[in-house]
Chains A and B, each alone.
Chain A
Amino acid sequence: MATYPLALEPVAPPRPGALRRAWLVGRRRPAALIGALVVLAFTVMALGAPWLVSADPTQSNWKTVRKAPTWEHPFGTDDLGRDNLARVVWGTRISMQAGVFSILFAIAVGVPLGLVAGYYRGPLDQALMRLTDAWLAFPFLILAIGLVTILGASLWNATLAIGLGATPTYIRLTRGLVLSTKEEDYVQGARALGAGDARLMGRHILPNIVSALLVQATVQIPTAIIAEAVLSFLGLGVQPPAPSWGTMLNAAQQFLESAPWMSIYPGLAIFVLALSFNLAGDGLRDLLDPRDY
């Protein structure tokens, strides 16, 4: 006896998976794909620095002071005879660390505050908004310089200062997204079904604003990377002999005429990394916006 299915399983149209969508966007926007790949390459470089270059980035060598690029030292050597390629590769670690952790800090502090402000409104919201107004009145770099003066110059303090500088942006962005999302039918529906505040915020609102926050992060990480380089360049970030691109450029400035390669490569690394983040961010915006692919 033949068996018949009791009900037809609804045949779902083949939904493009995340990977496939990434491929579609990547094919349509090769620049974004290249950007993402370069960011990936820098990440590998940051993680694998000890295995990628054999030269010690902090070991000075008086026999190889300010040598022009050769096969042995493709990026040349610096004023203390250190291999510039090794320093640029190791510098990736510092830049990525400052760029990524500062923005993670800003997200960790800013998103919950923005969520609460936008969800509950009222005096708390008003107070937070006036506070972010005041905080945003300090130009990013001047705020960071001020904070580093208080905290002392080091990589972690620079990271914290940059993170604190980026926090109000996240508070405001999250708040704005929450304001529009919480009026949506599915949130109102969940509320009608008896979902509590925490559940509404955590399960219904947050997942729907995550993609916008992620896109914002890809725009802010390059800004943070440049900010770390600037602080280190001014002597307020990573301290020598640690190989930060900013400190390298600071040292290179005195030898512009005799050793131009010292100033070219660290800056080029910052530029390429920041540009790649921005390109990838543009692509990510397309990828996460299902209306447009």
Chain B
Amino acid sequence: MVEFLLRRAFISAITLALVSIIVFAGVRAIPGDPARVLAGAEADEAGLEEIREKYGLNDHLVVQYLRWVGHAVRGDLGVSIRTRQSVAQTVATKLPITIELTILSIVVALAIALPAGVVAAVRRNSGWDVFMSGLSLGGVSVPNFWLGIMLILLVSVRLGWLPASGYVPPWDDPIDNLRRMIMPALVLGTGLAAVLMRQTRNAMIEVLGADYIRTARAKGLAQRAVVVRHALRNSLIPVVTILGLQMGALMSGAVVTEQIFVVPGFGRLIVEAVFTRDYPLVQGVVLITASAYVLINLLVDVSYSVLNPRIRIGGGGGAAGA
């Protein structure tokens, strides 16, 4: 067990190191002189040289990389070119908004996927099952930004039930916060719900065929108790793993969803940073996103091995991130 955890942590550390090298190299690969970007268009050659000296751009690339990583580990991700605010601080103000959106969308996805998946598995091959898998296929295929636009068109423009955009912090007005977050959460949660529904169905079908379920039935337990207390609980483990692997898709989805519903979160920050060519901000944001993904999946793997001691050496995440 300890050996597995150490091995897994070691692999994650290597992954994080590679991630940082990729991000560093990526920003260096952007055409143009970074000193020029920092100094602005009107700086002369002497000014550029001063900037290069100040930010150590004349040093060897390895030295620059190590200095950057050294700072990053201590939480110093540099300063945004545009706002002159620290990148870490900018991210810290935007991140809670995206975390709220993500948690809400996971709640939405689970609220749809678990009951639907369970019913589809229990009534396997029924009309209900076929309908559910059709719905799930539709959920995977629908581009979520279009779904968002259609929801705004129907719910906000036509029916006028919910505001189409904007953000209100929950501590200012929790009700208004939810009214503005429910549509983005639904849009972001749709794809996840579709994936989780399939996973729940398949896991449930496998579990329902197991011996202990037959035992539980033989004891005379009611169908409901067997399904919920025995089968569903054991089906949840693979569902949690998939949830971890889907975090990347959720982060991608958040970028688009926040763009459509004008939610001032992390995803909007990325797009803004790219458009304003704010490279330190892009660099910091991408590094944080990738690191978060690695750490979340490390946590999922660790909790998985704690929940299920039979799994000592996991195969690692092999599923496609989309």
By a CB distance below 8 angstroms, the chain B residues around A169 are: 320-321
A172 within 8 A of B: yes
Question: Which residues of chain A from 267 to 293 have a CB within 8 Å of any chain B CB?
Answer: 267, 270-271, 274-275, 277-279, 282
Minimum CB distance partner of A223 in chain B: B322
Expressed in whole angstroms, the Cα–Cα distance for A138 and B288 within the complex equals: 10
B171 within 8 A of A: no
Contact indicator B320/A253 (Cβ below 8 Å): no
B290 within 8 A of A: yes
Contact indicator A130/B249 (Cβ below 8 Å): no
Interface size class of A (residues with CB under 8 A): 35 or more
Given contacts A134-B18, A136-B321, A176-B318, contact A263 B271 (CB under 8 A): no
A219 CB, nearest partner CB in chain B, Å: 8
Mark contacts of A24-44 with chain B using CB atoms, 8 A cut-off: 1 yes-contact digit, 0 otherwise: 000000010000000000000
One of B120-128, B150-158, B224-232 at the interface? B150-158
By a CB distance below 8 angstroms, the chain A residues around B138 are: 275
Contact indicator A130/B11 (Cβ below 8 Å): yes
Given contacts A136-B317, A267-B146, contact A141 B252 (CB under 8 A): yes
A6 within 8 A of B: no
Contact indicator A140/B259 (Cβ below 8 Å): no
One of A14-22, A62-70, A145-153, A198-206 at the interface? A145-153
A235 within 8 A of B: yes
One of A49-57, A71-79, A185-193, A226-234 at the interface? A226-234
Minimum CB distance partner of B140 in chain A: A278
Contact indicator A274/B141 (Cβ below 8 Å): yes
By a CB distance below 8 angstroms, the chain A residues around B253 are: 141
Minimum CB distance partner of B273 in chain A: A149
Expressed in whole angstroms, the Cα–Cα distance for A131 and B22 within the complex equals: 10
Contact indicator B149/A256 (Cβ below 8 Å): yes
B87 within 8 A of A: no
By a CB distance below 8 angstroms, the chain A residues around B256 are: 141, 230, 233-234
By a CB distance below 8 angstroms, the chain B residues around A142 are: 251-252, 255, 270, 286, 289-290
Query: Across the A-B interface, how many residue pairs have beta carbons closer than 8 Å?
Result: 145
By a CB distance below 8 angstroms, the chain A residues around B300 are: none
Contact of B15 among A130, A149, A230, A236 (CB under 8 A): A130
Contact indicator B22/A278 (Cβ below 8 Å): no
Contact indicator A139/B282 (Cβ below 8 Å): no
Mark contacts of A233-265 with chain B using CB atoms, 8 A cut-off: 1 yes-contact digit, 0 otherwise: 111100000000000010011001100100110
Contact indicator B157/A256 (Cβ below 8 Å): yes
By a CB distance below 8 angstroms, the chain B residues around A133 are: 11, 14-15, 18, 316
Contact indicator B141/A141 (Cβ below 8 Å): no
By a CB distance below 8 angstroms, the chain B residues around A138 are: 19, 22, 248, 286, 289-290, 293
Given contacts A136-B321, A149-B274, A233-B256, contact A271 B289 (CB under 8 A): no
By a CB distance below 8 angstroms, the chain B residues around A234 are: 255-256, 259, 271
By a CB distance below 8 angstroms, the chain A residues around B316 are: 133
Q: A142-B290, A145-B255 are in contact. List 16 more A-B contacts (CB 8 A).
A: A31-B134, A133-B14, A133-B316, A137-B248, A141-B255, A142-B286, A146-B286, A149-B30, A149-B274, A149-B277, A220-B320, A234-B256, A234-B271, A249-B145, A263-B153, A271-B142
What is the interface of chain B, defined by CB distance below 8 A to chain A?
Answer: 11, 14-15, 18-19, 22, 26, 29-31, 134, 137-138, 140-143, 145-146, 149-150, 152-153, 157, 248-249, 251-253, 255-256, 259-260, 270-271, 274-275, 277, 282, 286, 289-291, 293-294, 316-318, 320-322
Q: Nearest 9 pairs between A and B by C-beta?
A: A267-B146, A141-B252, A134-B18, A275-B141, A139-B248, A274-B141, A137-B290, A139-B251, A169-B320
